[in-house]
Amino acid sequence: MAKVAFLLANNFEDSEMKNPYDAVKEAGHEAVIVGAEKGAEIKGKKGTVSYTSDVSINDIKAADFDAVVIPGGSSPEGVRVQDQMVQFVKEANDQGKAIAGICHGPQVMISADILKGKKTTCFVGIRDDVKLAGAEYLDEEVVVDGNLITSRTPKDEPAFIREILNKL
């Protein structure tokens, strides 16, 4: 059983959190919602789902997890401004852990400076940002490069989830 950290802030894309989270749990893995504070309610931007954070980013280490998932929407903007969240992603990458980001999720990877020389995809609105971070942008439903898994939009979720489960 793998332990997967879901990095979350308000206004995440509802399905990009719910579907991978449910799939990870259904596959028998432990899914942990990581927020700025433990016990905080974190709401989706469409209002169809909300979650309560299981742990605070200040109370965990990347070494305790097997993978990291970064749902899209506006949540990655809220995640990337927290130094501890960015440091967590950087350490997970240094340890070779799977790091999956969909839609705007790669914004956190940019802040963690882990995209240089990697192939990636993302929501089209941030493709210039990933290129400036040193990545090769590919317009594909899912791109796997080493430990990194990236996808573009909710319609790519089946491929995104498949590749997360493959890594676990």
Q: How far apart are CA 114 and CA 101, in angstroms?
A: 12
Query: Tokens at residue 106, please?
Result: 């790669």
User: Of 85, 99, 103, 164, which residue is the catalytic one?
Assistant: 103
Name the amino acid, one letter, at 110.
Answer: I
CA distances from 14 to 17, 64, 160 (A): 6, 26, 15
- 103 flagged as catalytic: yes
In degrees, rounded to 5, the angle at the alpha carbon of residue 117 between the alpha carbons of residues 96 and 24 is 40
C-beta of residue 34 within 8 angstroms of C-beta of residue 8: yes
Partners of 12 in beta bridges: 44, 73
Helix (H, G, I), strand (E, B) or coil at 104: coil
Residues, the chain, total? Answer: 168
Q: Name the residues annotated as catalytic.
A: 103
